[in-house]
């Protein structure tokens, strides 16, 4: 039985005290003069099924996440303003075990997807699709969206295999845009009809990342090209204000067709007034984008247009306040502010401090599914002889990555044992998924020796990727590792305590390849930048790369186990793209790990130390990790790591003497 739904009015009333919601004064609206309208736009983005403030992997409360917490901020700002529109920017139905559990059944009118059961309470008016909406296939997506009490828009995902000459003539997967007529109260208390257009975009790379679900069914268009085509039509249809719901990040490196993170250039499209952005799990306005030309992190603008990015998992609420004024040309923005308002704060050396409490009605709306998820993830599948942890996965061979590689190799050899590739050497590529970073100092895998449950497997492998195998040369194996080694900063010989990790590099692009041995020379610059572009052709960080005890043959052929994201070109690894795929597995990588553990019964996931750094006498490097990493220093083989002291934002600093 699904928890009894609570109406938008009763939820707001419960927060403000009974009928107070109906008579609340709106101080922001009072700032507008006659003929001026204050409009508040509120965004959530990248919620990834985080409704409860709960970490299903660690099986404990987590004060850094949860729409139930964000809901408290939403209702507070709604109470302050008479004119408010709440929107979402995508990546809703995938991202944690609640989403995995929900993907096991087809949502219906009687059993709405838990993400939408929660969102329906809060009065969302429109949302767009994120790239992770496609992870479970189009049939599941359609069934899930049917449970939302608000519409979705997206203009650059096209049905079928044909693109029209004019993007506005495409048969889009869902409605490309909506123009909503709102009656907004001006400073004199008069009602004014204003037409607000919402248009949605998603990274065109979804057709690569989710090829198994989308191949032959949809195509994608460039985001900026699509915006330039549709915005004039929206203006012709009477839109006074156009808001881009752009599930795409902010990249200031210059526009290129088909780029993944195009929000800055969407803002530059004539006629776009406001950009709600996301995808990168950052915060805007904020220091993450201080160096991006065209992004004003003080004014909160992209190309001069109001913009916001509200973190992820409900960590922030995006808020844009607009003052609109009408003249002979129509309504225009005369002033604005933008902020990403957090639900918690983290002080140095202190635990997370929640700034709001959960809205009970939101929790109740998904309570049954939440408890079913807990039962699902707590189910044991085997045992581990050694602890599984990822505190040092970026600096040394690591047990949490090792078990993924062991599972993938076991599966690959089983599936190809009778095929044409059975005699080729087989390798496995795997990356750490939980490695701190912007997700915070508790964002690490930490499974003690003993029983291992499904939640632990989900913790090891966060994404519902599906298995792929690619055929590559020895030369490509080397370049694959060179691309991965871009996570490290260049180190000066003989200098102490130099920072090691480049924070702009995504940990999930740090692939370790098992089946070969190698060293990484930190004294060399990286051949590739964080986007996979060759920037130092004469540099070679990967040295002593060996297979079976001998220097690898550049011409030799290898089969490498990986996932659909990497094999589809995700991360821009040289020589790794769909043309190299030789086997498409029917199983998710996560299910493969479960089956491997069940088959073995008991696993011993100790890392085999197949890679390390080239020694540099008199040189040391420092990096940040979780404080509980100190409990596993003795478990690290082949490298000596020592604790230095407290780091930033709750992290702990560690040192390696090279």
d(CA 542, CA 550): 15
Q: For 431-461, write each residue's pLDDT tens digit.
A: 999 999 888 899 999 999 999 998 888 888 8
The pLDDT value recorded for residue 21 is 31
Please write the tens of the pLDDT for every residue from 354-372: 999 999 999 999 999 999 9
d(CA 480, CA 511): 8
Q: Give pLDDT, residue 228.
A: 98
Average pLDDT score over residue span 422-426: 94
Cα(11)–Cα(68) distance, rounded to whole angstroms?
12
Per-residue pLDDT reduced to its tens digit, 107-151: 888 899 999 999 999 999 999 999 999 989 999 999 999 999 999
Backbone angles phi, psi at 609, to 5 degrees: 55, 45
Q: pLDDT digit string (tens) for 195-248?
A: 999 999 999 999 988 888 899 999 999 999 999 999 999 999 999 999 999 999
Q: What is the pTM of this model?
A: 0.75
pLDDT score, position 9: 36
Residue 184 region by backbone torsions, left for phi larger than 0, else alpha for psi between -120 and 50, else beta: beta
Contact 397, 609 (CB under 8 A): yes
Q: How far apart are CA 65 and CA 42, in angstroms?
A: 17
Query: 3-class DSSP state for residue 480?
Result: helix
More confident residue, 132 or 463: 132
pLDDT at 87 over 60: yes
How far apart (Å, rounded) are the C-alpha atoms in residues 379 and 133? 27
Give the pLDDT confidence score for residue 351 in this predicted structure: 79
pLDDT at res. 612: 95
pLDDT at 470: 96
Give Cα 41 distance to the centre of its chain: 22
How far is it, in rounded angstroms, from Cα 400 to Cα 368? 31
Closest CA to 182 of 86, 246, 277, 305: 86
Give dist(CA 61, CA 93) in Å, integer. Answer: 20
pLDDT for 586? 65
Residue 323: predicted pLDDT = 94
* DSSP codes joined into one string, 497-564: SEE-B-TTS-GGG--EEETSEEEE-TTSPPSB-TTS-B--TT---EEEEEETTEEPPTT-EEEEEEEH
Confidence check: pLDDT of 349 > 80: no
Q: β-strand 542-547 against 517-520: which pairing, if any?
A: antiparallel
- Residue 625's nearest CA partner among 431, 394, 423, 426 is 394
Per residue in 3-43, pLDDT tens? 323 333 334 333 333 333 322 344 555 577 777 899 999 99
- Write down how long the chain is: 658
User: Model confidence at 522, in pLDDT bands (50, 70, 90)?
Assistant: very high
DSSP bridge partners of 423: none
Q: Look at residue 607 in the predicted model and tell me its pLDDT.
A: 82
Q: How far is CA 490 from CA 329, 391, 493, 506, 656, in A?
A: 55, 22, 10, 17, 15
pLDDT at site 335: 93
Q: Shortest CA distance to 45 belongs to which of 288, 244, 294, 305?
A: 244
Specify whether the backbone of 285 is left (phi greater than 0), alpha (psi in -120 to 50) or beta. beta
Q: How many angstroms from the chain centroid is the CA of residue 391?
A: 20
- Dmax (CA) of the chain: 82
Torsion sign across C-alpha atoms 220, 49, 440, 485: negative
- Asked whether residue 464 carries a pLDDT value surpassing 80, the answer given is no
């Amino acid at each position: 039985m699904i928890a009894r739904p609570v109406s938008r009015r009763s939820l707001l009333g419960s927060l403000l005290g009974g009928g107070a919601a109906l008579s609340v004064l709106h101080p922001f609206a009072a700032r507008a003069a006659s003929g001026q309208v204050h409009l508040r736009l509120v965004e959530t983005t990248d919620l990834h099924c985080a409704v409860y403030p709960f970490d299903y992997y660690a099986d404990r409360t987590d004060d850094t996440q949860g729409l139930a917490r964000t809901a408290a901020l939403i209702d507070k700002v709604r109470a302050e303003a008479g004119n408010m529109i709440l929107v979402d920017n995508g990546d809703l139905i995938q991202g944690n075990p609640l989403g995995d559990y929900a993907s096991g059944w087809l949502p219906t009118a009687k059993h709405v997807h838990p993400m939408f059961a929660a969102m329906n309470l809060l009065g969302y008016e429109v949302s767009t699709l994120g790239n992770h909406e496609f992870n479970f296939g189009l049939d599941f997506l359609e069934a899930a969206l049917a449970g939302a009490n608000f519409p979705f828009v997206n203009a650059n995902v096209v049905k079928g295999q044909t693109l029209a000459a004019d993007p506005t003539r495409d048969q889009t997967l869902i409605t490309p845009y909506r123009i909503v007529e709102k009656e907004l109260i001006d400073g004199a208390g008069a009602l004014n009809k204003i037409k607000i257009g919402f248009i949605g975009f998603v990274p065109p790379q979804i057709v690569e990342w989710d090829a198994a679900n989308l191949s032959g069914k949809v195509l994608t268009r460039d985001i900026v090209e699509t915006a330039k085509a549709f915005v004039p039509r929206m203006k012709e249809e009477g839109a006074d204000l156009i808001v881009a719901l752009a599930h795409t990040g902010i990249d200031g490196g210059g526009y290129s067709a088909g780029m993944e993170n195009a929000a800055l250039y969407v803002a530059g499209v004539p006629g776009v007034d406001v950009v709600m952005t996301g995808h990168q799990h950052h915060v805007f306005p904020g220091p993450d984008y201080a160096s991006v030309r065209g992004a004003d992190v003080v004014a909160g603008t992209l190309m001069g247009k109001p913009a916001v990015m509200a973190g992820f998992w409900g960590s922030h609420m995006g808020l844009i306040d607009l003052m609109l004024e009408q003249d002979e040309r129509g309504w225009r923005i005369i002033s604005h502010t933008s902020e990403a308002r957090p639900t918690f704060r983290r002080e140095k050396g202190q635990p997370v401090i929640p700034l709001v409490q959960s809205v009970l009605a939101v929790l109740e709306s998904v309570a049954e599914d939440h408890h079913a998820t807990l039962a699902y993830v707590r189910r044991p599948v085997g045992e581990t002889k050694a602890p599984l942890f990822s505190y040092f996965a970026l600096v040394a061979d690591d047990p949490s990555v090792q078990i993924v590689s062991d599972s993938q190799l076991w599966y690959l050899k089983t599936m190809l044992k009778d095929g044409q590739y059975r005699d080729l050497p087989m390798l496995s590529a795997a990356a750490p998924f939980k490695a701190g970073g912007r997700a915070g100092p508790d964002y690490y895998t930490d499974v003690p020796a003993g029983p291992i449950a499904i939640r632990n497997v989900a913790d090891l492998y966060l994404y519902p990727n599906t298995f792929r195998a690619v055929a590559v040369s020895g030369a490509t194996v080397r370049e694959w590792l060179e691309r991965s080694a871009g996570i490290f900063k260049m180190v000066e010989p003989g200098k102490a305590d130099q920072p090691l990790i480049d924070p702009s590099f995504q940990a999930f692009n740090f692939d370790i390849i098992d089946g070969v041995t190698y060293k990484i020379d930190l004294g060399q610059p990286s051949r590739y930048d964080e986007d996979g572009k060759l920037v130092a052709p004469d540099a070679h960080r990967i040295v002593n790369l060996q297979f079976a005890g001998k220097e690898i043959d550049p011409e030799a052929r290898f089969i490498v186990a990986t996932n659909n994201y990497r094999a589809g070109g995700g991360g821009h690894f040289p020589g790794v793209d769909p043309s190299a795929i030789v086997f498409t597995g029917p199983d998710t990588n996560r299910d493969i790990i479960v089956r491997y553990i069940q088959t073995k019964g008991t696993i011993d996931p100790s890392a085999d130390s197949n890679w390390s750094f080239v020694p540099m006498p008199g040189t040391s490097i420092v990096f940040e990790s979780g404080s509980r990493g100190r409990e596993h220093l003795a478990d690290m083989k082949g490298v000596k790591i020592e604790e230095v002291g407290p780091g930033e934002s709750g992290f702990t600093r560690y040192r390696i003497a090279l």
